[in-house]
Structure 1
């Protein structure tokens, strides 16, 4: 830290001895702020705007009062009119050390371009704050604005930026509506360091709760429409046959919604699914089951209640699918902001100081294409990690791979698991020995597999979790497609097909065991399965576009057949997959 003090001492700016000593004593990577600090900053900026302390600059470069208040004054304006005056009164140290004089460990490094509005910036950072993180390093708050910042940047690799990024676990990239942060060379240098050090790079996005609440209102209207249809329509003796068609439509709507990439189509499908489910909930004719003939009134009521609960849970699935759609759209919007003005290479990035530009470009050297690639992975997937970069380098399309599909996993690990455990207890107590021997072990197996998957996913890195969710979604879609015909039969004949030679009960264990195997394998080990089959499976799980899904499925089948005919496949056969 002696060099830091020396660079400050050479400055012509009047220095506060305490500020210099403080920044000498505290390592630059510890000039951090907490989540609470950011909330405090937001309150203080709002107060300063209300009192006129922060106002649009006279040169007209930031007319933030003309906006709707969502963005606020730019980082430049806030720094000049709030950060500097406040820290000047406190002793000329940085805002971060003013709030935390002993410094804080760095968990998150925030990369941004200063052109965004302060409220836009804070909203995105606070909404995307990693759950395990406690402190973050942000240049506008970390660097001492009154001291010799230029002296701190003489060597990019020893600058506060580089030291803080090295100490961090995650890099949080904050897009803005004006231009890509990767039109600025310092941000590109941060991407270079993150790539070289194998950091996880995330895209920050603003809260989407308003859109989700609006979607819930729409789904509520869809529920009312479904109930109204059930009340108005009377198919008399044809009700069971109509229900058969509605079940078919519900299954097809759910599968299409999960497989579609177009935003408006997905929204329409989710609303349609909500209408159909609530129609079924009120028009459903109870299917006879194992407990229908029981002398106990409680057991006789179980099928009627359980079947309607299932239908309502499926209605909830469409609400969750709508939430997934909104989050996917938000990720696309943030990626579009990252691409705005970006030429595809950091070669064209600009720097305000020629000396800094020369030093940064010398340090990056011949690794420009590597950095370009890491940025492209970030924009495509919504996240850039060593695993994602490796998978993408093998030709796998990773478009929105970091956008988790939570609808079916939440149902599988929530209400579906609860229903399974409830029926497991009933089966163990009330079923005769034949059905106890068949059903209880299988339901116990599927319950344990889901509980283990929950534990595995909780301990997995973020990119692994996103992959696991997509695996569960795709397997559940196949499960739904296979299991739906048996539901048709149940509705047609009016009773469950519980013949002793029936194999219907094998379907759930097979589905959940398949999910469990891939969750256990994880992202990287699945991709490394032999004969190129792993890459095909990864592409099949990650793909959101129907064409890519079908192409990947066909390629998997061809790979399997080729492997069966020629066990000794060449290295080239297990390399890249070009189906994307």
Structure 2
């Protein structure tokens, strides 16, 4: 009996690693076909884990309803994980739709409004009179619109600094939704520890900070402008994916040793508190202040805005630039040249 239970935990731990890899790859890759395969694989494996998962028990045994808390909590997290892959697929479909829209918008645009034509000559004259000497500014705003999906003063300033703003006006929501949904688990942990356990104050403190930071992030997202909201979601996706990637080996070990009733170390809850307070701090800074950070502000902002294979090359190229380099304007111009032919 013990051997069969131990073997089941081994399989669950292996499935957990595969699901984590699929989530990380799907959230990072650009290839649509690979993302479809990974999303379907992750959904199927998450459902299999949901049906067969053996909960990780605490060292202390509880009676009554409290004994079911680990089962409910861990199955809820797996259910959220299955929903996460569905949201990844929704993000993928929305991304392809946005690419087609951008392609249609860029058709018959020759790089400047000076080449624009109106059905009535009088309308064209009136429009150009209103634009006056701001033709270059309007052209630049259009280039930012085509590259980022929107044109705002912040995005134009970021683009002039040489940061690649490709698709910066759009954000995927799968990872942030997962992070906000799991905050319910954190809140439940705090309540459970207060009612049923004599938990040290510092554990409650870090769990409470993790929950409150996510609540504050929701409020900040609600009040932010659209471009800053997209930046927050993109940045949150990068940091949370890295956090899950680093934390998954610990969960793997806990599930591997679940048959031994090996309890997770409560000190690990310091990690989510640090992660979400860091996300909140960077969100409060915004794109302009992150860009203005001394040292490698451009590099950091590029890491948050880029996706897939362009993350490291773009960030490393900015880290290699000298602060007094004159190539920033040339870099900005080249980064605004949008290529949709690959789609």
TM-score (norm 2): 0.87
Counterpart selection for 2:282 from 508, 514, 518: 518
Q: Please say if 1:426 is aligned against 2:192.
A: yes
Q: 2-side partners of 1:267 and 1:417: how far apart?
A: 28
Could you tell me how far apart the structure 2 residues matched to 1:278 and 1:370 are? 52
SS class of match (1:384):
coil
Cα distance change on mapping 1:527 and 1:333 into 2, 3 Å: same
Asked whether the equivalents of residues 39 and 88 of structure 2 are also in contact (C-alpha less than 8 Å), the reply is: yes
Other structure's SS at 1:246 match: helix
Whole-angstrom distance in 2 between the partners of 1:577 and 1:260:
28
The count of corresponding residues between Structure 1 and Structure 2 is: 328
Cα deviation for residue 504 of structure 1 reads 2.1
Contact 2:57 2:263 in 1 (8 A): no
1:242 aligns with 2:8: no
Query: How far apart in 2 are the matches of 1:496 and 1:514?
Result: 30
Question: Which residue does 1:463 correspond to in 2?
Answer: 227
Asked if 1:539 is matched to 2:295, the reply is no
Residue among 182, 192, 202 paired with 1:416: 182
* 1:260 matched to 2:29: yes
Do 2:160 and 2:328's aligned partners in 1 also have CA atoms closer than 8 Å? no
Matches within 5 A, 1:493-508: 493-494=257-258, 495-499=261-265, 503-508=267-272
* Corresponding position: 1:351 with 2:118: yes
Q: Which has the higher contact order (CA 8 A, sep 6+)?
A: 2
Does residue 443 (structure 1) correspond to residue 210 (structure 2)? The answer is no
Q: CA RMSD in A?
A: 2.6
Structure that is richer in helix per residue: 2
Query: Structure 1 residues 420 and 370 mapped into 2: Cα distance closer, same or farther (>3 Å)?
Result: same
Q: CA–CA distance in 2 between the matches of 1:282 and 1:288? A: 17
Distance 1:571 1:517 in 2: 28
Partner of 1:384: 151
Residue in structure 1 matching 2:97, options 300, 325, 330: 330
Residue 392 to residue 496, structure 1, CA distance change in 2 (3 Å): farther
User: Of the candidates 375, 393, 407, which is equivalent to residue 160 of structure 2?
Assistant: 393
**Contact 2:56/2:263 (8 A) holds in 1:** no
Q: CA deviation at 1:366?
A: 4.3
Instruction: Give yes or no for contact 1:427–1:439 (8 Å, CA) kept in 2.
Output: no
The Cα of 1:318 is off from its aligned counterpart by 0.9
1:491/1:553 Cα in 2 relative to 1: closer, same or farther (>3 Å)? farther
Tell me, yes or no, if structure 1 residue 275 matches structure 2 residue 44: yes
3-state SS, counterpart of residue 165 of structure 2 = coil
Partner of 1:529 in structure 2?
A: 293
Give 3-state SS (helix, strand or coil) of 1:240's partner: helix
The structure 1 segments of at least 4 consecutive aligned residues displaced by more than 6 Å after TM superposition are: 573-577
Counterpart in the other structure of 1:286: 55
Deviations 1:26-66 (A, max 9, x none): xxxxxxxxxxxxxxxxxxxxxxxxxxxxxxxxxxxxxxxxx
In 1, Cα distance between equivalents of 2:21 and 2:329: 33
**Contact conserved, 2:26 with 2:39, CA < 8 A, in 1?**
yes
Q: Hey, what's the Cα distance between the residues in 2 that align with 1:243 and 1:484?
A: 13
CA distance in 2, matches of 1:371, 1:379: 12
> How many angstroms does 1:404 deviate by?
1.9
Query: Are 2:240 and 1:476 aligned?
Result: yes
Give secondary structure in 2 for the equivalent of 1:518. helix
SS at structure 1 position matched to 2:57: coil
Structure with greater Cα Rg = 1
Corresponding residue of 2:80: 313
Contact 1:381 1:398 in 2 (8 A): yes
Gaps of 5+ in 2: 336-343
For residue 141 of structure 2, what is the aligned residue in structure 1?
374
Q: Deviations over 1:471-520 (max 9, x none)?
A: 11111101101110101110111145445xx7422211111111111111
The answer to whether the Cα contact below 8 Å between 1:530 and 1:574 also exists between their aligned partners in 2 is: no
Alignment check: 8 A CA contact 2:59 2:263 kept: no
Tell me which residue corresponds to 2:338.
none
* Structure 1 residues 380 and 490: CA distance shift in structure 2, 3 A: same
What is the TM-score with the length of structure 1 in the denominator?
0.53
User: What's the CA shift for 1:574?
Assistant: 12
